């Protein structure tokens, strides 16, 4: 259904209409995979993947991006005048550092969409939580002609994705007693995985992989997915930190100090260190902080339930 919708929007764009689509969803909902599929199927050799600190090649010219999206978009529009292309911005929330804040880059992006989206097709991905925040500050629905949410894929689509992933391993799937799994048993295994993953395709694939165990060189087996749930540890003190990291996806202590002001040193710095020490937050070598991938969606759901996040 989502592919059919995208195909219709792309055909309308080719006929002269505006081309700007926002893909939203939780972590691992398949936004990046869907974007790659669109790029490969409809814009082969005509895709610009726009991300900070990467290199763009156009018309024999080379441009290294920074966190200044406006500068990058100016280069793109200047050297694509006669070439309709896809501009794909994956993970919009990552476009910000100490010098260029996301809001500045958003204003530039919206200007270029308004001016050039009849010859450049803009495809942008972000979480549904970030989209909800942006809707309060910016008229997102005016800028993007469509918002496609990818949180829940059909069982058939996820089953096909798992089948493709398993097929790529070139291993036989057997029961614990070594008998080949029949189609009905496979369907039951997959449906159990889909339910545990709440129809999130990325989590379903990860869960399938983590539940797969080697029998011998040619065969693997599946165990029951764990039903362990993250306990409710959300408090008013840690909720604000977790909300900021859920919405922004990654932050560093400089940006957190800017956001929380003096309260960060007095109160939130200690909470941050505790969340890191128990493994809920990960600090990368470059100093950026992220919620651990293994619990990112569960934390988001807990924050939603306690009304710290909007889901739409």
Query: pLDDT tens digits, residue range 167-179?
Result: 878 888 988 888 8
> CA-to-CA distance for 38 and 3, rounded, in angstroms?
8
**Full-model pTM:** 0.76
Domain with CATH 1.10.10 in the chain: 236-305
At 228 the pLDDT is 61
Q: Which residue has the higher pLDDT, 15 or 97?
A: 15
Confidence class for position 161, pLDDT limits 50, 70, 90: confident
Q: Which of 10-19, 31-40, 97-106, 247-256 has the highest mean predicted lDDT (pLDDT)?
A: 10-19
Domain with CATH 3.40.50.300 in the chain: 12-149
The backbone region for 199, taken as left when phi is positive above 0, alpha when psi lies in -120 to 50, beta otherwise, is left
At 226 the pLDDT is 63
- pLDDT tens-digit readout, 262-287: 999 999 999 999 999 999 999 999 88
Contact in structure between 105 and 67 (CB atoms under 8 Å)? yes
In CATH terms, is domain 236-305 a member of 1.10.10?
yes
Q: What is the CATH number of domain 12-149?
A: 3.40.50.300
Span 82-107, mean pLDDT?
Answer: 89
Mean residue pLDDT of the chain comes to 88
Confidence class for position 197, pLDDT limits 50, 70, 90: confident
Span 8-30, mean pLDDT?
Answer: 91
Q: Quick one: tokens of 163?
A: 């089948």
């Amino acid at each position: 259904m989502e592919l059919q919708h995208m195909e219709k929007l792309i055909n309308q764009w080719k006929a002269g209409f505006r081309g700007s689509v926002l893909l939203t969803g939780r972590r691992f909902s398949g936004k990046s995979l869907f974007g790659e599929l669109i790029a490969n199927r409809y814009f082969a050799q005509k895709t610009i993947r726009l991300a900070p600190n990467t290199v763009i090649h156009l018309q024999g010219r080379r441009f290294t991006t920074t966190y200044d999206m406006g500068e990058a978009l100016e280069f793109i529009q200047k050297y694509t005048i006669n070439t309709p292309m896809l501009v794909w911005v994956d993970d919009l929330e990552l476009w910000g550092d100490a010098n260029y804040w996301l809001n500045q880059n958003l204003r530039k992006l919206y200007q270029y969409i308004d001016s050039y989206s009849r010859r450049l097709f803009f495809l942008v991905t972000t979480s549904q939580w970030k989209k909800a925040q942006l809707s309060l500050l910016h008229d997102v629905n005016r800028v993007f002609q469509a918002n496609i949410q990818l949180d829940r894929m059909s069982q058939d689509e996820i089953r096909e994705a798992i089948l493709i992933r398993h097929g790529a391993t070139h291993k036989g799937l057997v029961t614990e007693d070594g008998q080949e799994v029949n189609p009905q048993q496979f369907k039951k295994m997959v449906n159990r995985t889909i339910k545990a993953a709440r129809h999130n395709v990325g989590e379903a694939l990860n869960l399938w992989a983590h539940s797969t165990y080697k029998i011998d060189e040619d065969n693997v087996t599946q165990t029951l997915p764990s039903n362990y749930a993250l306990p409710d540890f959300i408090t008013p003190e840690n909720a604000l930190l977790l909300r900021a990291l859920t919405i922004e996806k990654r932050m560093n202590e400089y940006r957190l100090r800017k956001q929380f002001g003096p309260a960060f040193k007095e109160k939130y710095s200690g909470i941050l260190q505790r969340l890191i020490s128990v493994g809920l937050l990960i600090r990368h070598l470059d100093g950026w902080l992220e919620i651990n991938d293994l619990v990112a969606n569960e934390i988001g759901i807990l924050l939603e339930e306690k009304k710290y996040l909007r889901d739409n």
